[in-house]
Structure 1
Amino acid sequence: MDPAFGDPLLRGVIAQAEARDWPALRASLLATADQAEQTQLVAVAAEVAGVEEWAPQAGDDSLALLLSGARQINWAWEARTGARARNVTQEQWDVFLQRLGVAEEQLLEVAEREPTWLGPWYFLQMSARGASLDQDVARYRFEAALRRSPGHPASHRQRLQQVCAKWGGSHEEMHAFARESMLAAAPGSPLGELVARAHLERWLDLGGGAQGRAYMGGPNVMAELQDAAQRSVFHPEYRPERSWKAVHNTFAMAFSLSGQRHLARPLFEALNGTVTDTPWAFLGGDPALSFRTHRARCAA
């Protein structure tokens, strides 16, 4: 598992965050091509342990405050852990909500300071979901992100999570959002991945056993996965973005689970061993081991 996914720019940002070298990290963030790339780099840096200790003291700087807010969200989830809600202690809930509250305060301040920035609105979608804020608030934050970066794939992924049944939405709303987003996008857009993600969420909800296998192998699901891939990763106009490996991993797992190994194979080959935690963590255990197992099956 490579947290930089083999990307030299991401690897450099992680190293700068680990070294607590804010001047170098700030320069990397300012040198990005656009708001979407800057937001992705902030998200990667916010995964680094210890950022919460120094980012708030980096000065009266909007970028430092954005990084601090993003880190507070990850730090909150580290306190809560990935356990089911009924297994989370009251103390863990208290720390979780306290850190999310700090994130909200910091990110809303950045949004006020920098009204054209995508970053705060992207991360505010995550804090809204964790804090179980009103669905109208979550929708507004998604729409605010798209006004600053139309078609932003990562914001669409956050919105897909928000409308999942496990977060107060429904399977119907989730699938409708995924398909409508794909159809509204330009040919070759990575948003076709949303359809595959939605089906994997449904598979996960079914428990991944016999019911899950029957679901993924159903003719309608198989056809929808093929259609989504033809509109995105298999489309002649598809141009991989910096997050393309996450998109390929999603489709590779979906095609493998649905028994369409001939379609998963070229995706695994393109990935050349690069594993993303999502969606392989859905299978439980080591995501890299799950990746290797399915890759070997699809290569046969």
Structure 2
Amino acid sequence: MPLFSGRRKPRLAPALDDVELGRTVKSLLEVPRAGMIGMTDLHVARVTDLLKLTGTDWDRRTFRLSVLAETTAGSRVPSAWAAREPDNPDALLLHAWSRLAQGLRSGGMGDANSVVRSCYRAAELNPEDPAPWVIVLGVARLERYERGSVLAVWREALARDRWNREAHLQLLGYLSPEEGGSRVQVLDFVDSVRARTPADAPAAAVELTAAVRQHQGVAAGGGVEALMARDFWKHPPVVHALDRATATWPEPGFLRHAAARADLNLLAYALGAAERRSEAAPVFAALEGTVTGWPWHEGGKDPVEVFSNEQSRAVR
């Protein structure tokens, strides 16, 4: 029987395999029915319940907040909730992160200081939560704060959640040459993370994320460099990173963090880019059709279509 017979149809799933989050996201995207009132109140109640149930699982809380912020950016939900409950840290953080999401889409923030103030207030109200510092780190990245300040914020996030995935990826982006850093800074950071991070930690994908970003940058540049992009995956450090991930990540229960399937998408993409598609079959099996926008949407392509094509090639 073919490995993928009966497999689920690939679909974009911002909530990944988080069922409760998926239900909440679906409800937030519902179009109000005729005569229906209080939709914003209903949305706020659902988000409130979800975040309350998440408790102090900081990894999942950070993930859920990030997805909720992306979903509600531009809607009335975050601002209405924050206005109604100005001393509720969840309300403050959703509002702040949704504004950061809008800023990332537009390429800048109109009032970054107010977002940072909201995060500091949320940090006062819930001192153990890393999320306020993760959001400030995102603002610092977008606004290009000086490096010393950014590193101080990053340390605050890690003091509360040592392997926080989002904090690591934010700093990786800040250090990248595309955002004003350099390739040397990225390599130094990746080496440091690799040396101290457990193989199954939420931040374990930093090295592979850096590799995929670099590969996509080379491929998008055009010219001779683009023609040689496939040779990128033959460099020993990149080969070793891909080998380590391929040997462990698809194993059931190895990756347990909230965004594990996002990292498995990254691995499946990298194996295809490296022309090691036969090794990607167990990765696609573990994903069960769960697709993330990045890294599949490079060049404006439909991520689900690219994912589906790679999945088919993996089992030939």
Which residue in 2 is equivalent to 1:285?
Answer: 301
Match status 1:7 vs 2:33: no
Which residue in 2 is equivalent to 1:63?
Answer: 90
Which residue in 2 is equivalent to 1:38?
Answer: 61
Local SS of the residue matching 1:191: coil
Change (3 A) 1:198 1:183: same
Q: CA deviation at 1:173?
A: 2.3
What letter corresponds to residue 32 of structure 1 in structure 2?
T
Distance 2:236 2:313 in 1: 21
- Aligned residue runs from structure 1 range 1-300, under 5 A: 1-15=12-26, 17-18=28-29, 19-20=39-40, 21-33=43-55, 34-49=57-72, 50=75, 51-60=77-86, 61-80=88-107, 96-208=108-220, 209-230=226-247, 232-233=248-249, 238-300=254-316
Larger Rg: 2
Distance 2:308 2:111 in 1: 36
Distance 2:298 2:155 in 1: 28
Distance 2:182 2:265 in 1: 24
Higher relative contact order (CA 8 A, sep 6+): 2
Change (3 A) 1:141 1:214: same
Structure with the largest fraction of helix: 1
Q: CA deviation at 1:65?
A: 0.8
Q: Does the 8 Å CA contact 1:192/1:229 hold for their aligned counterparts?
A: no
Task: List per-residue Cα deviations over 1:245-287 (Å, max 9, x = no partner).
Answer: 1010011111110111122221112112111112112343211
Moved more, 245-254 or 18-27: 18-27
Gaps of 5+ in 2: 1-11, 30-38, 221-225
Distance 1:62 1:220 in 2: 42
Change (3 A) 1:214 1:283: farther
Distance 2:112 2:306 in 1: 32
Q: TM-score, structure 1 length as denominator?
A: 0.86
Distance 2:314 2:246 in 1: 17
Q: Does the 8 Å CA contact 1:121/1:144 hold for their aligned counterparts?
A: yes
Q: Does the 8 Å CA contact 2:129/2:160 hold for their aligned counterparts?
A: yes
Q: CA deviation at 1:177?
A: 1.9
Change (3 A) 1:101 1:229: farther
Local SS of the residue matching 1:169: coil
Structure 1's consecutive aligned runs of 4 or more residues displaced over 6 angstroms after TM superposition are none
What letter corresponds to residue 79 of structure 1 in structure 2?
S
What letter corresponds to residue 166 of structure 1 in structure 2?
E
Q: Does the 8 Å CA contact 1:182/1:191 hold for their aligned counterparts?
A: no
Distance 2:203 2:251 in 1: 12
Distance 1:190 1:255 in 2: 20
Which residue in 2 is equivalent to 1:92?
Answer: none
Change (3 A) 1:183 1:65: same
What letter corresponds to residue 178 of structure 1 in structure 2?
V
Distance 2:203 2:53 in 1: 26
**RMSD (Å) for aligned C-alpha atoms:** 2.2
Q: CA deviation at 1:217?
A: 3.9
Local SS of the residue matching 1:266: helix
Task: List per-residue Cα deviations over 1:192-212 (Å, max 9, x = no partner).
Answer: 321211111111221343122
Which residue in 2 is equivalent to 1:83?
Answer: none
Q: CA deviation at 1:129?
A: 0.7
What letter corresponds to residue 287 of structure 2 in structure 1?
L
Q: CA deviation at 1:99?
A: 4.4
Q: CA deviation at 1:73?
A: 0.5
Task: List per-residue Cα deviations over 1:98-137 (Å, max 9, x = no partner).
Answer: 1434322211222233322111011111111111111112
Change (3 A) 1:246 1:107: same
Distance 1:237 1:296 in 2: 25
